[in-house]
């Protein structure tokens, strides 16, 4: 496929057909499962989505209050609370905690915030071994690859590719049997849990009322990270708060069903603080780092609703653009419709590097319809497009503007002539077509012209009517 067009198109085109097909099938299956389970279990899932969206929006609108409340509760529970304004400060804070404990090895559970600030690479540069323990993330780390999906990071890989990776890293001779792959990963990871000095997690939610930190996984790796290590560091975006413990029921029910079509994820942990005097195991120290890294700025802007996101991945699974392009085209930790909004916003005010992302959408609205916290993603994409346009940001390789199309479409005579010409255009060999169409056509397939012109058909129909 050609390498022209916007960066999004180029990254999408760089994916092999087998990878694209794996993402297409995986996301379609994820969406079908989510819909089946949600509508099987609830009479009116939409009212739950709206309620969850209102609770999250309320929390965001009073975030200063809830952050203070959560800090007070966490400290009363024995945790130490830190605030990090940006990625650099967050990474340094983690490193200082580890240094103060003489920690040299850490195990991590899947945490998008740590990926966002590239914590693993930072720690490695400072002599700390950092290992991902979620199976998908572990494979991504071995391959020095990037996740292609928020919930299923290796959706783009098949078991043969994973078996080759394991063989290449000394994890046994090639064997692509799924049970063998998971058993080998388990044996390797269990040794690492026992050797580790600290466990680093994110959090799906934190209740401001009790300071309870909630983690959900399907592999139990977060439990191992916390049971075997003596220090727990949780790096959490400031938007992860919910006001009360009772809100957690709603969010956990929506998260499991929206993410994987499960009534509840297999492991749901509620962590209130470090190990108590009467408890036999668990970390003796707990640190919670609240990460800003651009979130306050997003909160002050006109796309603040995106901070409601609970990272379920449902909008990716339903998105026709994501299904064709796969997650790597979004070039950030967050992919799909949520990534098309969040990645540019986290990058800064005018996001020239990611200006193509808000345009990578058909605005069909499916992402909004499935979002468990009712984020109006198409509206946010339009606001970002507008913001980019006002700032004069033009993505590299952008197609010519729609101005010429608008001029044409608003002049009936010119439009009729253009339609006649359009019919002939399909007969012109690709390289001889006008430049605008060559750029657009680099990553799009123009369907062959079939049938007659609609206007002629309509005129004929009217003529025949009595």
Site of interaction with ligand SF4 (CB under 6 A): 150, 258, 309-315, 338, 370-373, 375
Instruction: With beta carbons less than 8 A apart as the criterion, state whether 11 and 328 touch.
Output: yes
In terms of CB distance, is 193 or 251 closer to ligand SF4?
251
- In whole angstroms, how close is the CB of 236 to ligand SF4 at the nearest point? 16
Rounded-to-integer distance, Cα 418 and Cα 86, Å:
52
For ligand SF4, the closer CB: 70 or 367: 367
The least CB distance from residue 295 to ligand SF4, in Å, is 14
Non-local CB neighbours of 320 within 8 Å, separated by 6+ positions: 362, 364, 366
- Do the Cβ atoms of 255 and 310 come closer than 8 Å? yes
Between 181 and 315, CB nearer to ligand SF4: 315
* Of 93 and 361, CB closest to ligand SF4: 361
Query: How far apart (Å, rounded) are the C-alpha atoms in residues 149 and 114?
Result: 16
φ and ψ at residue 242, rounded to 5 degrees:
-125, 155
- Distance, CA of 462 to CA of 460 (rounded, Å): 5
Q: What are phi and psi of 51, to 5 degrees?
A: -65, -45
- Rounded Cα distance, 202 and 109, in Å: 7
d(CA 29, CA 117): 31
What DSSP element (H or E) covers 421? helix 412-425
Looking at beta carbons only, is 283 or 372 nearer to ligand SF4?
Answer: 372
Which DSSP string do the residues of 167-184 spell out, in sequence order? HHTTSSS----HHHHHHH
Report the nearest approach of ligand SF4 to the CB of residue 84 (Å). Answer: 22
**Smallest distance, ligand SF4 to C-beta of residue 371, A:** 3
Q: At closest approach, how far in Å is the CB of 310 from ligand SF4?
A: 5
Least distance to ligand SF4, CB of residue 218, Å? 17
CB of 323 vs ligand SF4, minimal distance in Å: 14
Cβ closer to ligand SF4: 322 or 351?
322
372 token code pair: 């468990």
Residue located via tokens 């098309």:
340
Of 181 and 303, the one with the shorter C-beta distance to ligand SF4 is 303
Q: What is the DSSP letter of 231?
A: E
């Amino acid at each position: 496929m050609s390498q022209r067009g916007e960066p999004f198109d180029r990254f999408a085109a760089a994916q092999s057909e087998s990878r694209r097909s794996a993402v297409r099938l995986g996301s379609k299956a994820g969406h079908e499962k989510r819909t089946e389970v949600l509508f099987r279990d609830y009479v009116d899932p939409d009212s739950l989505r709206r309620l969850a969206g209102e609770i999250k929006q309320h929390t965001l609108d009073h975030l200063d209050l809830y952050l203070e409340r959560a800090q007070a509760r966490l400290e009363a529970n024995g945790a130490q609370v830190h605030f990090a304004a940006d990625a650099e400060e967050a990474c340094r804070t983690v490193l200082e905690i580890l240094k103060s404990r003489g920690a040299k090895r850490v195990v991590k559970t899947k945490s998008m915030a740590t990926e966002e600030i590239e914590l693993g690479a930072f720690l490695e540069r400072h002599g700390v071994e950092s290992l991902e323990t979620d199976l998908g993330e572990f494979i991504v780390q071995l391959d020095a690859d990037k996740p292609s999906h928020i919930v299923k990071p290796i959706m783009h890989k098949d078991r043969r590719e994973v078996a080759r990776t394991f063989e290449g890293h000394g994890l046994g001779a090639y064997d692509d049997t799924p049970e063998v792959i998971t058993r080998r990963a388990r044996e390797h990871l269990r040794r690492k849990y026992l050797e580790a000095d600290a466990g680093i997690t994110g959090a799906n939610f934190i209740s401001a009322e009790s300071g309870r930190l909630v983690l959900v996984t399907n592999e139990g790796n977060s439990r191992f990270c916390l049971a075997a290590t003596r220090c727990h560091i949780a790096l959490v975006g400031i938007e992860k708060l919910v006001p009360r413990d009772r809100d957690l029921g709603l969010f956990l029910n929506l998260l499991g069903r929206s993410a994987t079509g499960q009534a509840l994820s297999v492991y749901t942990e509620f962590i209130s603080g470090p190990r108590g005097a009467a408890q036999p195991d668990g970390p003796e120290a707990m640190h919670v780092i609240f990460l800003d890294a651009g979130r306050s700025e997003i909160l002050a802007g006109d796309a603040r609703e995106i901070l409601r996101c609970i990272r379920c991945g449902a909008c990716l699974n339903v998105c026709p653009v994501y299904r064709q392009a796969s997650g790597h085209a979004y070039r950030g930790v967050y992919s799909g419709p949520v990534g098309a909004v969040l990645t540019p916003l986290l990058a800064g005010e005018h996001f020239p590097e990611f200006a193509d992302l808000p345009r990578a959408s058909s605005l069909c609205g499916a992402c909004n319809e499935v979002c468990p916290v009712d984020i109006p993603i198409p509206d946010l994409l339009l606001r970002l497009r507008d913001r980019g346009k006002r700032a004069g940001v033009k993505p590299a390789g952008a197609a010519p503007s729609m101005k010429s199309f608008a001029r044409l479409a608003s002049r009936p005579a010119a439009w009729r002539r253009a339609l006649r010409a359009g019919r002939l255009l399909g007969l012109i060999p690709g390289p001889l077509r006008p430049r605008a169409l060559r750029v657009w056509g680099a990553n799009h397939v123009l369907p062959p012209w079939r049938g007659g012109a609609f206007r002629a058909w309509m005129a004929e129909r009217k003529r025949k009517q009595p």
